[in-house]
Amino acid sequence: MQAVQPSQGKFTIEFPALSAIKPERWLVGIHIILAMIAVVVGGLLGPFQTFRRAPTLTWEIPIFSYYYQALSLHGVLNGLVFTTFFIVGFSYFVTQRSLQRKLASIPLAWVATGMMTVGLLMAGWALLAGEANVLYTFYAPMIAHPLFYLGLTLVVVGSWLAGLNIFLTYIQWKREHVGQAVPLAVYATICNFVMWITCTLGVAVEILFFLLPLSLGWVATTDPQVTRILFWFMGHPLVYFWLIPAYTSWYAMMPKQNGVKIFSDNLGRLAFLMIMLFSIPIGVHHLFADPGVSELAKVMHSLLTFVVAIPSFLTIFNLAATLEQAGKKRGSSGRLGWIAKQQWDNPVMAAQLTGMMIFLVGGITGIMNASFNLNIALHNTSWIPGHFHTTLGGGVFLTYMGILYWLMPILRGRKLFSKEIALAQVYTWFIGIALFGMSMARAGLEGAPRRTDLGAAGVYISPAWGLYLNLAAIGGFILLVSLILLIVNLVGTLWFSKSEPNEPAPIDVAAPSDSLLIFERWGLWLIAIVVLNVVMWGPVLIQGLNFSAGFWSTGFQMR
Amino acid sequence: MAQQPQPKLEIDKYERTYLILAVAMVGIFFAAILAGAFAFNVRPPDAAEFVNPLTLGQTEFTQLGLFDRGNNNYDLYSIAQMWQFNLGPGVPVEAGHQVLDIPLNARVTFHVASRDVNHGLFVQYHNINLQLVPGHVARQSVIFDRPGTFWVVCHEYCGRGHHNMGFMIRVGNA
């Protein structure tokens, strides 16, 4: 049961007034469609990797029989392309609907879309042609085709323009609403793009000054440690870039989908602010095993990683309290009765609720990874993909599906093809990813490496891994079923569903009156970001650079 | 436009208690980490020296293998390259993989450098995990206090033969 008011009128896209206009739906829709194409292609490759790694199967991956090509496609399409396109599209939608105005510049938005799409085609070609078997982390001195790097650059720069457009829209709104706090969803979106534009400066430098010139043959040598440092300047905020839209859905849309208010709007703002400030100066927790980073930096980044866990703890309370209100409103009794009273039969809510549950596991395992010395037992074992498939593959992906199942009908102007299939998709995904994540994590504790073609002939296999790798393949199979259900619903909604959608977008157009304005002191926060990162990353970068000898490593083509 | 009085931040009393507990918990976690690192000496590698990956033969990596330093202390020098760990001469090969014998309770300091791309090294069930980044020497010590056979695998993707890059450590000739 949907708690939102059924809308009246014929064309029931009851956007808060303004425009249910076609160009806007196209602009957002293109991003969502490209994102879904990426995740379907990239996602389908996932289960076949689990089949390949399972000792009882060791099946070759169809079409992309070279394991590391399949893995590169899987990582880039899911982690970089699906996410970036989905987030940009969703952020446009949130900004326009929530502020009730058009983007500052529609032409700029289309230029950004064009750049991102061309970039996707370039990187996609390199990957499909086997010219970029470098995985999504593309560590130097491995080199891919120049078009791979150029493509990724275009996707990132396109997303910068999207962020700029959103900032400008916000500034215009702010001029007309002096003394008013911006709605929480837009606040989160702005935090996300401030963080994203800041952190991708690292990977931009890495690509433009290191990898691309090496790939083009303009320089002969590079520095692997420095490029790793630059990559992980971006690499951790990247996961928060994925996460903030999911949090936006939980904080700003889920209450509306339940007919209640968020328990604490201001602490929600605090959570987003803290994520923006602290998600970048912690990236060395990906470099705990690196030989070119000092132990001191590792301790410091570990400490700040624990600080960035605080907003997630805040989120748990805030969301649980909100859901409790929703359950009580529906007549729950007892202390935990509200849990049973959630909308478990509504795919939009089921996706978010299961997403939260699986994300809890992802958060806890994340704290373990970030634990300085505990990391010795975990780094680059299959524990790591076990962990991030419960965050990106679990909490984030499920929540995005929760968004998709109301957003796509609105954009397309047709009802969701099948609510039942959507529900089945959500629950199979939840079970599949939980089994997969748990098995991979367990195999990792037994010493199974990640990113390794364990099905190849003559490969080392410890008997202790077999059970868990096989269980991961069962998880993979369930995920494959879930993906097929998703494809059926996507195709069905786009072309075979007839009736018009009858549910409005769950978007607030104003902040509560007690929302604090201090959270929007952007100048102050920008200074804080600069100071934090200069202090936390400056010494790491300087120590990584070899000032006396320069660059030593020659590039290696990975075909 | 008249400035409205700023609302004040109000935090629910349960939420405040919860927040204090959450911060305390995170603090305890971090204290445990520091205790593990500095009281029990379970630590990740510190920054080590630069080394030219193209001329490793002229450095401390001239001679590779396990060196007995007395008192059950050993040094292991190895070069990681596509797609093997070079452990020096005389290491027996069983079923296609090198098997390195290490006495029980030996404290072995690993010194490893990459000759080409990123590699990695960890020993199954032991407190050692190194990223082998070309241009740096990776060093870490570990005590082999349980008999058995353990896989040592390259844990960073390094190209076509990545999955064949590994060797075994046999402790106490078990």
Q: What is the mean pLDDT of residues A218-245?
A: 97
DSSP bridge pairs for B132: B119
pLDDT score of A17 more than 50: no
Q: Is the pLDDT assigned to residue A495 strictly greater than 90?
A: yes
CA dist., res. B153 & res. A382, Å (int) = 12
pLDDT in single tens digits along all 174 residues of chain B: 445 566 778 888 999 999 999 999 999 999 999 999 999 999 999 998 899 999 999 999 999 999 999 999 999 999 999 999 999 999 999 988 999 999 999 999 999 999 999 999 999 999 999 999 999 999 999 999 999 999 999 999 999 999 999 999 999 985
3-state secondary structure of A500: coil
Task: Chain B: give the shortest CA distance to residue A141, in Å.
Answer: 6
Inter-chain residue contact B159 with A454, CB threshold 8 Å: no
Residues of B in contact with A375 (CB under 8 A): 44, 129
Q: Is the pLDDT of residue A1 over 80?
A: no
Q: Which residues on A lie below 8 Å from B52 (Cβ)?
A: 549, 552
pLDDT value at A501 more than 90: no
Whether residues B47 and A543 touch (CB distance < 8 A) is answered with: yes
* φ/ψ (deg, to 5) at A106: -65, -45
pLDDT for residue B4: 57
User: Angle CA(A6)–CA(A31)–CA(A413) in degrees, nearest 5?
Assistant: 30
What does the block give as tokens for A117? 């799409």
C-alpha separations of A526 from A81, A199, A231, A522, A532 in Å: 27, 13, 21, 6, 10
The percentage of residues in chain A with a pLDDT greater than 90, rounded to a whole number, is 89
Contacts of A310 in chain B (CB under 8 A): 19, 22-23, 26
Annotated active-site residue in A388, A397, A430, A468 = A388
- What's the confidence (pLDDT) of residue A550? 84
pLDDT tens sequence across A432-469: 999 999 999 999 999 999 999 999 988 888 999 999 99
Chain-wide mean pLDDT for chain A?
93
* Contact between chains at A318 and B15 (C-beta distance less than 8 A): yes
Q: Domain coordinates of chain A in residue numbers?
A: 22-546
The candidate with the shortest Cα–Cα distance to A451, out of A71, A56, A62, A65, is: A71
**Which one from A387, A412, A414, A442 is the annotated catalytic residue?**
A387
Structural contact between residues A446 and A464, judged by C-beta atoms closer than 8 angstroms = yes
Judged by CB atoms closer than 8 Å, whether chains meet at B116 and A450 is answered as: no
Q: Kindly report the nearest CA distance between residue B87 and chain A, in angstroms.
A: 17
What is the structure's pLDDT at A543? 94
Where do the H-state alpha helices sit in A102-145? 106-128
d(CA A88, CA A127): 23
Provide the pLDDT for residue A413. Answer: 86
What's the pLDDT score for residue B11? 87
Q: Angle A224-248/A522-544 helices, nearest 10 degrees?
A: 150
A152-201 tens-digit pLDDT: 999 999 999 999 999 999 999 999 999 999 999 999 999 999 999 999 99
CB contact under 8 A, B135 and A553: yes
Q: What is the pLDDT of residues A152-164, one digit of tens each?
A: 999 999 999 999 9
**CATH class held by domain B53-171:** mainly beta
Residue A257, pLDDT > 90, answer yes
Sign of CA dihedral A262, A267, A269, A275: negative
C-alpha to C-alpha distance for A158 and A147, rounded to whole angstroms: 16
Q: Active-site residue A387, yes or no?
A: yes
Closest Cα partner for B33 from A241, A347, A373?
A373
CA-CA distance, A285 to B77, in Å (whole number)? 27
Over residues A38-58, the mean pLDDT reads: 96
The per-residue DSSP string of A154-202 comes to HHHHHHHHHHHHHHHHHHHHHHHSTT-PPPHHHHHHHHHHHHHHHHHHH
Query: pLDDT confidence of A4, banded at 50, 70, 90?
Result: very low
**What local confidence, expressed as pLDDT, does residue A19 receive?**
47
Is there a contact between A356 and B20 (Cβ–Cβ < 8 Å)? no
Residue A31 annotated to the active site: no
- Per-residue pLDDT tens digits for A406-436: 999 988 888 999 999 999 999 999 999 999 9
Contact between chains at B131 and A377 (C-beta distance less than 8 A):
no
List of chain A residues whose C-beta atoms are within 8 Å of the C-beta of residue B160: 68
Maximum distance among all Cα pairs of chain B, rounded to whole angstroms: 85
Q: Closest partner residue to A303 among B18, B30, B166, by Cβ?
A: B30
- Find the DSSP H helices in A370-450: 383-390, 397-412, 419-445
A101 part of the active site:
no
- Is the pLDDT assigned to residue A3 strictly greater than 50? no
Mark whether A388 is an active-site residue: yes
CATH number of A22-546: 1.20.210.10
In tens, the pLDDT along A85-116 reads: 999 999 999 999 999 888 999 999 999 999 99
pLDDT at A471: 98
- Per the model's pLDDT, the better-predicted residue between A6 and A481 turns out to be A481
**Domain coordinates of chain B in residue numbers?**
10-43, 53-171
Q: Are A340 and A332 in contact (CB under 8 A)?
A: yes
Can you give A287-336 as a three-state secondary structure string? Answer: CCCCCCCCHHHHHHHHHHHHHCCHHHHHHHHHHHHHHHHHHHHCCCCCCC
How distant, in Å, are the alpha carbons of A37, A323, A513 from that of A422? 17, 22, 37
Task: Tell me how long chain B is.
Answer: 174
CB contacts of B38 in chain A (<8 Å) are none
Q: Say whether A294 and B46 touch across the interface (CB within 8 A).
A: yes
CB B115 within 8 A of CB A141: no
Does the annotation count A74 as an active-site position?
A: no
CB within 8 Å: A546 and B135? yes
Contacts of A514 in chain B (CB under 8 A): 7, 10
- Cβ of B157 within 8 Å of Cβ of A68? The answer is yes
Question: CA–CA separation, A416 vs A498, rounded Å?
Answer: 9
Give the angle subtended at the CA of A387 by the CAs of A281 and B48, to the nearest 5°.
Answer: 50
Which residue among A293, A452, A454 places its CB closest to the CB of B47?
Answer: A293
Tokens of A199: 């952190």
Among A459, A463, A465, CA closest to A442: A465
B residues 48..107 contacting A (CB < 8 A): 48, 50, 52-54, 82, 96-97
CA of A52: how far to CAs of A48, A388, A432, A472, B163, in Å? 6, 20, 17, 11, 13
First to last CA, chain B: 83
Give A385 to chain B, closest Cα distance, Å.
13
DSSP A122-133: HHHHHHHTTS--
Torsion from C-alpha of A202, A205, A210, A215, nearest 10 degrees: 100
Cα A320–chain centre separation: 22
- What's the gap in Å between the CA of A280 and the closest CA on chain B? 19
- The Cα–Cα gap between A271 and B22 comes to 14
Asked if A476 contacts A70 with a C-beta cutoff of 8 angstroms, the reply is no
pLDDT greater than 90 at residue A217: yes
Spatial CB neighbours of A173, under 8 Å, sequence gap ≥ 6: A99, A101, A182
Please tell me the distance in Å from B156's CA to the nearest CA on chain A: 7
Smallest CA–CA distance, residue B100 to chain A, in Å, is 15
Whether pTM > 0.90 for this model: the answer is: yes
User: Considering CB atoms only, which of B33, B97, B135 is closest to A223?
Assistant: B135
Lowest mean pLDDT among A18-22, A221-225, A448-452, B106-110: A18-22
- Whole-number pLDDT of residue A340: 95
Is B157 within 8 Å of A451 (Cβ atoms)?
yes
> What is the per-residue DSSP string for A456-468?
STT----GGGHHH
Catalytic residue among A97, A145, A236, A286: A236
- The Cα–Cα gap between A42 and A38 comes to 6
Instruction: Decide the pairing of beta strands B65-68 and B97-102.
Output: unpaired
How many Å apart are CA A281 and CA A275, to the nearest integer? 11
**Structure confidence at residue A267 (pLDDT):** 95
User: What's the CA angle centered on B108, arms B105 and B110, to 5 degrees?
Assistant: 155
Strands A142-143 and A556-557 come out as parallel
CA B83 to chain centre: 19
What is the average per-residue pLDDT within A7-31?
63
Q: Which chain B residues contact residue A141 at CB under 8 A?
A: 116-117, 134
pLDDT beyond 90 at A500: no
**Chain B contact probe: residue of A52, A176, A373, A548 with most B CBs at under 10 A:** A373
Chain B environment of A513 (Cβ under 8 Å): 7
Contact A376 B7 (CB under 8 A): no
| Strand order across the beta sheet in which B119-123 lies | B93-94, B97-102, B166-171, B148-153, B119-123, B129-132
Instruction: Mark out the alpha helices in chain B (DSSP H runs).
Output: 13-38
Catalytic residue among A240, A278, A288, A551: A240
Contacts of B96 in chain A (CB under 8 A): 458
pLDDT, position A21: 67
Give the pLDDT score at A2. Answer: 36
Pairwise CA distance, residues A387 & A367, whole Å: 10
